[in-house]
Amino acid sequence: MPAPFAAHERMIAWRYLRAKRAEGGVSVMTWISFAGIALAVFALIATMSVRAGFRAEFVDTILGANAHVTVYATERQEPSGRWVRTIPDYAAAAERLAAVPGVTRVAPLVKGQVLASAGERNAGVEVFGIAPADLAGLPRIADPETGVGDLARFAEGISIGQGVARELGVTVGDRIRLVSPNGARTALGVSPRVSAFEVVHVFSAGRYDIDRTRVYLPLEQAQLFFDRDGVVDEFEVMVADPDRIEAYTLPLLSAMGDRALIWTWKDSAGAFLRALDIEDNVMFVILSVLVLVAAMNIVSGLIMLVKNKGRDIGILRTMGLTQGAVLRVFFLCGAVIGIAGTAAGVLLGVLFAWQVDTIFSAVNWLSGGGVWDPSIRGIYALPAQLVWSDVAAAVALSLGLSFLVTIPTARRAARMDPVEALRHE
């Protein structure tokens, strides 16, 4: 099978690309076109990798520190006449939920919002009452690389987020007080309930909003503190395939019974994830326009090249070079610039994704710090994840546009009349 480009066509194209301005070439425009394509492809890959990394980090913090499915109950009336949403006989219900195929863990929870205080400092927190074994099964909470203290001593105290620890000015070994306004009922009214606990563990879930508000208590202590004797508020259910969470909802509802209600991680974060998908598509379209603008530089360079090489085209045509051969020569000139620029852009984009932490640290140092505010961004650092399908899409877009914009100018050169080209020389 013959090669698509003959040896003499490749030789002529390479000679034109290397020609200096004095020789009628456009080497400066060649470099400008190359740099434009490279930077556009780099910007596209870098942006998409950061978007993919942000999404992956966000989803990982959800799945690593929160329930995949929260199972709770509708209101019921106690013999005293009070309406509650607690779940009695929770041990049997937990066994039924754990028996559902695909469920990996079921953790009974007691939850409540209280005031935490240490010395003169206070912070509003959300208490999660959970069994020690279930807390150890939360990857983002039990990670020894990000946590401080001894999680094995959880039954003896309390585990708090690093944001709570910073707000209260405490660390492992200190004691904090939890104050609940819904305390004991007396003849004089409801008195606040106050208990003190030793901080045995400080965790970092990777999300500012979680670390700033969440604390964990042993389940029995939480039941006592919130007056939930023999009952829990909900179940935290983990499944084997969180992406297919919809497949678990009906079996879990059936296992729980008539009063069951379900709230999945996609219900809580679905709107945000859909917004990220829309932003990803919009960003790709916008940056595609940037690639198109960069590709148009190739057209400018080729137009100048065709104008400067009019005499050469006339001579080559009189020597027997066909219109197709001339078209292929100038198409090669534009295609080589597009291929080289795309390759350089891919290299820069991949290096950026792999070294984003180093680059971010350098930018943060040069700007004096404070570039990334976790209270606004939600996560603590700029993430990047290289998705090869995004890289392939960027390469296909860049090469496609580069080849496409080259064809009209190459055809114009091929259709040039050799007699007219030589007449004006």
Tens of pLDDT along 190-211?
A: 668 889 999 999 998 888 888 8
Residues 253 and 283 in one domain: no
Residue 32 sits in the same domain as residue 96 = no
Is 263 among the domain residues? no
Residues 89 and 224 in one domain: yes
User: Pick from 258, 291, 315: which residue ends a domain?
Assistant: 258
For residue 113, give the nearest of 224, 222, 236, 265 by alpha carbon. Answer: 222
Residues 95 and 233 occupy one common structural domain: yes
Which pLDDT belongs to residue 24? 47
**Is-contact 167 202, C-beta < 8 A?**
no
User: For all residues of the chain together, what is the average pLDDT?
Assistant: 82
In a domain, 147, yes or no: yes
pLDDT in tens, 122-136: 999 999 999 999 998
Query: Residue 346 in contact with residue 45, Cβ under 8 Å?
Result: yes
Instruction: Dump pLDDT digits (tens) for 162-172.
Output: 999 999 999 99
Pair 239, 327 in one domain? no
Structure pTM?
0.72
User: How far apart (Å, rounded) are the C-alpha atoms in residues 287 and 259?
Assistant: 50
19 and 82 in one domain? Answer: no
Same domain, 120 and 27: no
The answer to whether residue 341 is domain-embedded is yes
The more confident residue out of 408 and 314 is: 408
- Domain of 167 in residue numbering reads as 75-258
